Amino acid sequence: MPDRRREVYPEASDAQWGDWRWQARQMLGTLDELSARFPLTDEERAGVGAADARFRLGITPYYLALADPRHFWCPIRRQAIPLPAEARAAPGEARDPLGEDAMRPTPAIVHRYPDRVLLLATDRCTVYCRHCTRRRLTGGGEGELSRSALRAAVAYLRLHPEVRDVLVSGGDPLLLSDERLEELLSEIASVPSVEMIRIGTRAPVTCPMRVTPALARLLRAFAPLFVVTHFNHPREITQEAAAACERLVDAGVPVENQTVLLRRLNSSARTIADLNRRLLMLRVRPYYLHQGDVAEGTDHLRTPLSAGIAILEALRGHTTGLAVPHLAVDLPGGGGKITLQPDYVLEKAPGAWTFRNFRGERYVYPEPAERDCSCPYEEVFYSPGFGGSAGQGDATKRPVIEPASPKSTA
Ligand code: SF4
């Protein structure tokens, strides 16, 4: 189905449509705004009303133009327009399903894992996804990261040299201006122990015009920096979205994708295999396939755990390993991620393990006679002053890259 831009926004000029700020300003955030542009069913009207006071509504014109008005189960529609079920909390669901608030030493930092942190840059998004884990934050109230909150976050990073990896998320950090983003990234990159930065964003999916050439150059200047985006369905891979991803990759910014399994929207091997194949064509690596978190009001969108395993089983061996993501469950209450996969081990005997392969055939892997797996060369490689130690001659240290100021390169 082609996008319905001309039907949904006949008055928008090409310049407006291609301007991410215009898209952000025009976001549809009320029942009246949405129903003026899209033929809502009674159930959707009730859903918008019921969700209104609890979780924010907001859809860019671009994303709404992808929604299919003839099909209730259109995955764009169901990700963006709430249903009455959202107002119900199922047993086990929580406002803070990952227990993040207890791990916020400072308002902008969530520190759960030993060597990495999440930095909450803003509470705004270009689309408020109905399955959002952080809907308690994206529901509004936290706002953009203030300069004092940023200073506190950076001070925390300086006090915690064990943190090597900072995931900047929110909300969607690409809703910040280039100038604000550059300031934020510069502050983070100035911390000597930070080796890499990741940006979690749905902008390539829901507002691809945000990925301008200037933004791609800006992000490249902070290498190693990875963009982690969030395509859930092949329908979202439009020409605009594809161009946004390729702009990043062409500029030298690696792009990974996280998909959330959504019941009856993408919960089939056919859809996930197709999505991952198309992502790889854009040089976007399918990274995670997420089991839905137990966020309040999302029970109707969550899949049984067995569904994800069955999808992984249908992928592994049948398509390139590059198209097989990690199937992850973020354990409720802050336990962290674990990964699931089909069980291929049939038997573990002392001298050999027996497996079934992707066709269900039995194979035996003989164990080696020697068991010592220690690595003697580590003593040399990690000795002071040698290549593998932190310090002089360490090729893995964050490279110094001439800053590509968005002002000078735009
Ligand atoms: S873009 Fe991400 S943070 Fe924003 S609503 Fe969607 S899932 Fe939540």
Is residue 128 in contact with ligand 1, taking CB distance under 6 Å? yes
**Cβ(293)–Cβ(98) below 8 Å:** yes
Residue from 116, 285, 316, 356 carrying the catalytic annotation: 116
pLDDT for the residue numbered 406? 41
Residue from 129, 136, 247, 287 carrying the catalytic annotation: 129
Active-site annotation holds for 285: no
Ligand 1 pocket test, candidate residues 98, 138, 142, most atoms within 8 A of CB? 138
pLDDT for the residue numbered 407? 37
Give the angle subtended at the CA of 266 by the CAs of 262 and 268, to the nearest 5°.
Answer: 115
Is residue 55 in contact with ligand 1, taking CB distance under 6 Å? no
- 336, β-bridge pairs: 331
For tokens 């319905």, name the residue.
Answer: 4
Give the angle subtended at the CA of 245 by the CAs of 180 and 284, to the nearest 5°.
Answer: 120
Residue from 113, 158, 274, 356 carrying the catalytic annotation: 113
Active-site annotation holds for 235: no
User: In this structure, which amino acid lies at residue 3?
Assistant: D
Q: pLDDT tens per residue, the chain (410 residues)?
A: 667 999 999 999 999 999 999 999 999 999 999 999 999 999 999 999 987 767 899 999 999 999 999 999 999 999 999 999 999 889 999 999 999 999 999 999 999 999 999 999 999 999 999 999 998 888 776 777 888 999 999 999 999 999 999 999 989 999 999 999 999 999 999 999 999 999 999 999 999 999 999 999 999 999 999 999 999 999 999 999 999 999 999 999 999 999 999 999 999 999 999 999 999 999 999 999 999 999 999 999 999 999 999 999 999 999 999 999 999 999 999 999 999 999 999 999 999 999 999 999 999 999 999 999 999 999 999 999 887 765 444 556 555 555 444 433 33
Is residue 173 in contact with ligand 1, taking CB distance under 6 Å? no
Residue from 123, 172, 178, 293 carrying the catalytic annotation: 293
Atom number of ligand 1 nearest to Cα 126? 1
Gap from CA of 19 to ligand 1 centroid (Å):
21
pLDDT for the residue numbered 147? 87
Active-site annotation holds for 178: no
Residue from 132, 135, 198, 288 carrying the catalytic annotation: 132
How far is residue 248's CA from residue 213's CA, in Å, rounded to a whole number? Answer: 8
Atom number of ligand 1 nearest to Cα 131? 7
pLDDT for the residue numbered 144? 76
Q: What domains lie within the chain, and their CATH numbers?
A: 5-87 (no CATH), 101-340 (3.20.20.70)
Residue 398: C-alpha distances to residues 67, 193, 197, 282 (Å): 42, 9, 11, 27
**Cβ(263)–Cβ(300) below 8 Å:** yes
Tokens of 221: 């200047």
Taking alpha carbons only, the member of 176, 251, 183, 162 closest to residue 207 is 176
Gap from CA of 12 to ligand 1 centroid (Å):
26
For tokens 């390993």, name the residue.
Answer: 321
Active-site annotation holds for 132: yes
Active-site annotation holds for 407: no
Give the angle subtended at the CA of 97 by the CAs of 294 and 272, to the nearest 5°.
Answer: 45
Active-site annotation holds for 112: yes
Cα 398 to chain center, whole Å? Answer: 23
How far is residue 86's CA from residue 69's CA, in Å, rounded to a whole number? Answer: 21
**Cβ(127)–Cβ(58) below 8 Å:** yes
Gap from CA of 258 to ligand 1 centroid (Å):
12
Ligand 1 pocket test, candidate residues 60, 134, 198, most atoms within 8 A of CB? 134
How far is residue 67's CA from residue 51's CA, in Å, rounded to a whole number? Answer: 19
Active-site annotation holds for 125: yes
Give the pTM.
0.94
Protein residue with least CA distance to atom 7, ligand 1: 132
